[in-house]
Structure 1
Amino acid sequence: MSSLPHIRLTPDEYLAAERWATHKSEYIAGEVFAMSGASEAHNLIVANLIATLHQQLRQRDCRVYPSDMRVVNPEKNFFYPDVTVVCGAPRFTDDRRDTLTNPTLIIEVLSDSTPDYDRGSKFAQYRRLASLQEYLVVAQTAPCVEHHTRQADGRWLLQETSDLTAVLTLTSIGCQLPLAEPDSSLPYSTR
């Protein structure tokens, strides 16, 4: 078996290629990682999260973005969060307005292959974003949400819940996120 040469890209090379790509890839320290498709449950949870947040943010200076909006951190690593919220004026890397630099809230819905990554090294990359105030990790297969909140001293506080009657308070964006509602089971609905 022969091995192919390992090609490293600069951030600018990655971004130029990504803008023409037919599939999404994330970029970390010169390496490009193809993203796989999401399951039906994953997509429904993401849709419910976006709908719930959008409804509450409609009359405010905040925007909710789905997973096609790229986020870049100060080290020029690029990611596609499942849900991104920006309060205030969104800032982008350039006039293409397809790569955010100032998310307020990021939400990742766990897939079978991503729990360690989303909780570990990906969260470490996100924490480098000075604008980021809250990070949610939502389990796909069971009702469980990990809610990370940046404290005034820069530390992150973790609160975890699997109580379907719980309502998370997202302080940075002024929203309430119920784990479930009697008529729509947010975000754990398959409707």
Structure 2
Amino acid sequence: MTAVAIKMYTQEEYLELERAAEYKSEYYRGEIFAMSGASRYHNRITENLSIEVGGFLKGKPCQSFSRDMRVHIPENTLYTYPDLLIVCGKPEFLDNQTDTLLNPSVIIEVLSPSTEGYDQGKKFHLYRSLKTLTEYVLIDSQEERAEVYRKGSDGVWRLASEADDLEGSIEIAHIGLTLKMADIYSQVDALRQ
């Protein structure tokens, strides 16, 4: 058995490649990871969240960005694309390209079978290095289930809100928004038929 060498990239090389690429990739500690496409359930839920959150934030000092806004965490080198994020106050960017955000307040990930473990585990651990992050929201694309984790004043992350049926709701306290599960999963059943 022969070992296969993994090509390592600098962050500058990654950004140069990523900004010219036709597809999105994540970066972590020298490695580049291609991102797979999302299911129609995942896309419907993400679109519903964009509508609900974006509409709620109109005229407020916070704004939302969907999955094409890259986030960088300098403390651990991660570059990634959350499904939806919220930034309150002035957005801070890596450079004058303004395509890599450094200060999200809330990150929302829609879980897929292939990413669920990563999003709930390692990625959440890496996200916690963001000093500005106050809430992390996980929305399941396969069943009606959502969880909101919130950072306490002691710096400890705790499950703050959850729902597991269409009658429930979750609260994103940082922006004062209660999201109804029925709105999050609107039209998803039609896709499953």
Q: TM-score, normalised by structure 2?
A: 0.92
Greater mean alpha carbon deviation, residues 169-178 or residues 41-50: 169-178
Residue type at the aligned position of 1:34 = A
Q: Which runs of 5 or more structure 1 residues have no equivalent in the other structure?
A: none
Residue type at the aligned position of 2:144 = P
Shift of 1:13: 1.1
Correspondence for 2:93: 92
Q: How many residues align?
A: 187
Distance 1:187 1:147 in 2: 16
Greater mean alpha carbon deviation, residues 165-174 or residues 150-159: 165-174
Correspondence for 1:128: 129
Residue type at the aligned position of 1:187 = Y
**Structure 1 stretches of at least 4 aligned residues deviating more than 4 Å after TM superposition:** 1-4
Correspondence for 1:177: 179
RMSD of equivalent CA atoms: 1.5
Correspondence for 2:73: 73
Percent identical among aligned pairs is: 42
Correspondence for 1:155: 156
Shift of 1:160: 2.8
Residue type at the aligned position of 1:171 = A
Residue type at the aligned position of 2:130 = L
Shift of 1:189: 2.9
Shift of 1:188: 4.5
Q: Which runs of 5 or more structure 2 residues have no equivalent in the other structure?
A: none
Residue type at the aligned position of 1:68 = D
Shift of 1:56: 0.6
Distance 2:163 2:177 in 1: 17
Distance 2:186 2:33 in 1: 28
Correspondence for 2:8: 8
Distance 2:72 2:109 in 1: 15
Distance 1:187 1:36 in 2: 22
Higher helix proportion: 2
Greater mean alpha carbon deviation, residues 161-170 or residues 77-86: 161-170
Other structure's SS at 2:148 match: strand
Correspondence for 1:51: 51
Q: TM-score, normalised by structure 1?
A: 0.93
Distance 2:139 2:184 in 1: 12
Distance 1:134 1:20 in 2: 32
